[in-house]
Structures are given as C-alpha cells and as structure tokens.
Chain A
Amino acid sequence: METGPVYQSIQKKLTEALRPVNLEILNESHLHAHHQAMKGVVSSETHFSVSVVSEEFQGKTLMERHRLIYNLLNDELAGGVHALTIKAKAPVEIGTNG
C-alpha cells in the first residue's frame, strides 16, 4: 500500500509516543472526497482512521485517550487532516466487545 507523508508522520509520532502493541492506520480520504464539505480540496490525505492498542491508555478515560492522540497529531490536524477516527484501547481491553 502506498503511504503518503501524512500517513508516515502519523505512524512515526504514534509509535514513538505510545509504543503501541498494535497500530493500524487507514487512509479513508477516498470515502469522503465527494462530500459537500470537501469541495475544492485537492489533498488525498484528509481523513484517517487510527486504531491503537497501548499501555499508555490504561486507566485513562476515552476523552483523555483521544486528547492524547489529538495532541500528538496537532500539526497534522492544523494542516490538511480534517478528520481522525480513533479507537484507543489498553492491552487488557482487547477481546472485550465495544
């Protein structure tokens, strides 16, 4: 799979800061390209979905986990990334539903 500069930057930052057990990053920009709100936008790295399993999330609320990730990716979000779907789990939570 071809990965762009934003994808690689996200991967690097999340890996370094969170030392994840599992990390999946999906570029979902193509799913949103036709939306009204995206008219005139030419980037192909605008919407991402990240799924992270990391000890760092242990004991943190959902909001704390999401804020942590948002802070790490501040530059990307201030740049061309319009949306970030986040699944943030601690290793003990894997295997449970929802």
Chain B
Amino acid sequence: MKGTPDAPQCGFSRAVVQILDAQGVDAKQIKAYNVLEDQDLRNGIKEYSSWPTIPQVYLKGVFVGGCDILLQMHQSGELETLLKEKELVPGDL
C-alpha cells in the first residue's frame, strides 16, 4: 500500500484498509508494506504479480487484486466468503 494502515497516503490504499476493517479483519492480522518508503518493493511487487498498480491485496499469500476488485467483492459478498474460508474473520456459528 502507499502509507500505513493508520496513515494511508492515497485514496485507493485508504479504501482497502477501510474495506478490510468493515469486514471485521483484526488489524493484527494485516501486514502492510509501505511502497513509498521502499522503491525496490514498489517495483518488485508489480513484477511479482504482473500488476501495475498499488495497493495490492494478498490473502494468505494469494493475490486477490487491487482496490476496485476488493470493493466489488465486498459489495457482492464474495470477500466475506473468502475471508471466512481463509479464517481471517470468524466463521458462522
């Protein structure tokens, strides 16, 4: 992401943080890396995922997409399902 979860430096990164928070993902479970402080990371992660933009969201190591995709998945309910599957949020009782 650009910036940190407490201080995002870009609207798209902020949106991702807000969506994960709205889904009930514990902040302790979020590992955020600030590309603005690490040019190698900024370039490397784009090569790694063949994806040209930041933020990039990985759930348990699997690339899920950027802000637009996360937002659509959040609205459709797909994100909640995926987070439960990966045990990143409490499942249903």
Contacts and interface: CB of A to CB of B under 8 A. Distances in A.
Interface of A: 31-32, 35-37, 62-63, 66-67, 70, 74, 77-78, 82-87, 97-98
A63 B75 contact: no
11 contacts: A35-B10, A37-B2, A37-B10, A66-B69, A70-B52, A77-B53, A84-B52, A84-B53, A85-B12, A85-B67, A85-B68
B75 A70 contact: no
A66 B68 contact: yes
Contact of A35 (B9, B51, B66): B9
B68 A87 contact: yes
Interface residues of B, number: 21
Interface in B1-20: 2, 9-12
Given A62-B65, A85-B68, A86-B68, A67 B76 contact: no
B51 A70 contact: yes
A98 B72 CA distance: 6
